Amino acid sequence: MLEPKKTKYRKQHRGRRKGKATSGNFIAFGEYGLVALEPAWVTARQIEASRVAIAHQMKKGGKLWVRIFPDKPVTKKPAETRMGKGKGAPEFWVSVVKPGRIIFELEGMTAADAQHLLRLAANKLPMKTRFVKREVGIRYEGF
C-alpha cells in the first residue's frame, strides 16, 4: 500500500475539492491515459486495486505509470466515543484528485487493449473517468 515515508505533520485539515487540476493534467509519459472527470479522494487501497487489475491483465505487454500518490492522512475517531478529547488517529491515506487530473498512463499496446485495461482500473475508482490518447500540447482542463 502506498503511503509517505515521513510527513512534517501527522494530521491535516480536510480542505476543499473545488476547481480543476492545474498540474498533472496532460499525458507526460505514455500514449494513453485515464483522466478524472469529477473531484474525489482516492484512497491508497483504491489505487492499489486499480494498479493490480491493470498489471494482472497486462502481464508483460506494456508499461504503466501511476500519476497520483496518497499523501493526505484521513483521521477517524473510534466507534462509540464521546465528543471532545481531540482529533482521531490517522486511519488511511488519500490522494486529492480534481477534474482533469491524469490518474494512470499506459504505453506499448494498441488503443483497444489500453482502453480495456483502463476501464478495469476505472471500475475500482470512486469517480467518473475518461480514456484519452496523447496529443501534443493538450491539457485536459475543459471537464
Residue showing cell 499523501: 71
Q: Per-residue pLDDT tens, the chain, 143 aa: give them.
A: 899 999 999 999 999 989 999 999 999 999 999 999 999 999 999 999 999 999 999 888 899 999 999 999 999 999 999 999 999 999 999 999 999 999 999 999 999 999 999 999 999 999 999 999 998 777 887 66
Tell me which DSSP letter residue 130 carries: E
62: its cell numbers: 506494456
CA nearest to 116, candidates 61, 38, 46: 61
Alpha helices in the chain (DSSP H): 44-58, 111-122
Residue 75: strand pairing partners:
90
Asked if 54 and 121 count as a contact pair (C-beta separation under 8 A), the reply is yes
